[in-house]
């Protein structure tokens, strides 16, 4: 079975969604977080996913954190590294060593890079909004786009807008992962329903 490692920093709803939708088709070899308080740790525990906590505050520099992160990822030899709400700016130590990492960003890149993308996208006068899955390179949210999904805006509140964005993420990200790993997601979801 193909293996992925998921990197996260907070809530972990994408982590849980990916693990459930790809259950039986992809092995989530580990979930790695830089935040010992991340709620996603509870989710990973419930799902029986091995957890690695690497607290970035214990490292003197971005590079020294990234070195340990890279070593930890390599131990699992994943086919794909999946970033899902991993709130760290990566140094070249990471991007030179890990070439098979993807990220999801809650905007239609190249618009609204960086933090607070949902708020920035909501505040804009764009009539469509959406999410992007892209390869990770050394430019923040700047790697090659793999796929996107969008919706036409109505008169949503910020909360409703954010909920639509997350729904798009939950639909798109497992599909992209399945495609990249050459796995049939239809079969994956059918096997869950049985
Ligand atoms: C998602 O909106 C993702 O696009 C962004 O951070 C959020 C993570 O949410 N990069 P969660 O931790 O998966 O619930």
Please write the tens of the pLDDT for every residue from 125-152: 999 999 999 999 999 999 999 999 999 9
- Pairwise CA distance, residues 169 & 7, whole Å: 16
What is the extent of the structural domain holding 126? 2-180
Q: Using an 8 Å Cβ cutoff, are 123 and 106 in contact?
A: no
Q: Is residue 171 part of a domain?
A: yes
Confidence of residue 190 (pLDDT cuts 50, 70, 90): very low
Q: Which of 15, 87, 106 to mutate to test the pocket of ligand 1 (most atoms within 8 A of CB)?
A: 106
Element (H, E) at 159: helix 158-180
Is the pLDDT at 159 greater than 60? The verdict is yes
pLDDT of 193 reads 41
- Pairwise CA distance, residues 9 & 39, whole Å: 8
Q: Is residue 187 part of a domain?
A: no
Q: Is residue 191 part of a domain?
A: no
Q: Which ligand 1 atom is nearest residue 10's CA?
A: 12
Distances (CA, A) of 75 to 17, 51, 83: 24, 13, 17
> CA 65 from chain center: how many Å?
19
pLDDT of 184 reads 84
Residue 105 is among the residues annotated as catalytic for this protein:
yes
pLDDT of 187 reads 52
* Cα 14 to ligand 1 centroid, rounded to whole Å: 6
Q: Is residue 56 part of a domain?
A: yes
* Cα 15 to ligand 1 centroid, rounded to whole Å: 9
- Pairwise CA distance, residues 102 & 105, whole Å: 10
* Cα 10 to ligand 1 centroid, rounded to whole Å: 8
Nearest-CA residue for atom 7 of ligand 1: 85
Confidence of residue 185 (pLDDT cuts 50, 70, 90): confident
Question: 3-state class of 67 per DSSP?
Answer: helix
- Pairwise CA distance, residues 166 & 176, whole Å: 15
Q: Which of 6, 7, 8, 11 to mutate to test the pocket of ligand 1 (most atoms within 8 A of CB)?
A: 11
* Per-residue burial over 36-45, b = 16 or more CB atoms within 10 Å of its CB, e = otherwise: eebebbebbe
Residues forming a β-bridge with 33: 8, 53
Q: Is residue 117 part of a domain?
A: yes
Nearest-CA residue for atom 1 of ligand 1: 85
In this structure, are strands 128-135 and 145-152 parallel, antiparallel, or unpaired?
antiparallel
Q: Is residue 82 part of a domain?
A: yes
Instruction: Please report, in angstroms and rounded to a whole number, the separation of the first and last CA atoms in the chain.
Output: 20
CA-angle at 155, arms to 149 and 156, nearest 5° = 65
Q: φ, ψ for residue 155 (rounded to 5)?
A: -105, 50
CA-angle at 75, arms to 96 and 176, nearest 5° = 65
- Render pLDDT for 28-77 as a digit per residue (tens, 0 to 9): 999 999 999 999 999 999 999 999 999 999 999 999 999 999 999 999 99
Nearest-CA residue for atom 3 of ligand 1: 85
Q: Among the options 23, 105, 134, 152, which is catalytic?
A: 105
List the CATH number of the domain containing 153.
3.40.50.170
Q: Is residue 168 part of a domain?
A: yes
104 lines ligand 1 (CB under 6 A): yes
DSSP class of residue 58 equals: G
Q: φ, ψ for residue 54 (rounded to 5)?
A: -120, 95
Q: Is residue 58 part of a domain?
A: yes
Is the pLDDT at 19 greater than 60? The verdict is yes
The average pLDDT across 170-186 equals: 93
Number of domains within the chain: 1
């Amino acid at each position: 079975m193909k293996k992925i490692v998921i990197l996260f920093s907070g809530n972990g709803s994408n982590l849980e969604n990916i693990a459930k939708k790809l259950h039986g088709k992809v092995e989530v070899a580990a979930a790695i977080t830089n935040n010992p308080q991340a709620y996603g740790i509870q989710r990973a525990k419930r799902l029986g996913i091995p957890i690695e906590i690497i607290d970035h505050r214990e490292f003197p520099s971005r590079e020294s954190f990234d070195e340990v992160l890279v070593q930890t990822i390599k131990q699992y030899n994943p086919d794909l590294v999946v970033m899902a709400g991993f709130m760290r700016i990566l140094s070249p130590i990471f991007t030179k060593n890990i070439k098979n990492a993807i990220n999801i960003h809650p905007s239609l890149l190249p618009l609204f890079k960086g933090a607070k993308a949902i708020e920035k996208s909501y505040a804009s006068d764009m009539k469509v909004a959406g999410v992007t899955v892209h390869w990770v390179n050394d430019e923040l949210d700047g790697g090659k786009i793999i796929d996107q999904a969008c919706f036409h805006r109505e008169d949503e509140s910020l909360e409703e807008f954010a909920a639509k964005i997350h729904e798009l993420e939950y639909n798109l990200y497992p599909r992209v992962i399945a495609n990249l790993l050459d796995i049939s997601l239809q079969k994956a979801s059918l096997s869950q329903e049985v």
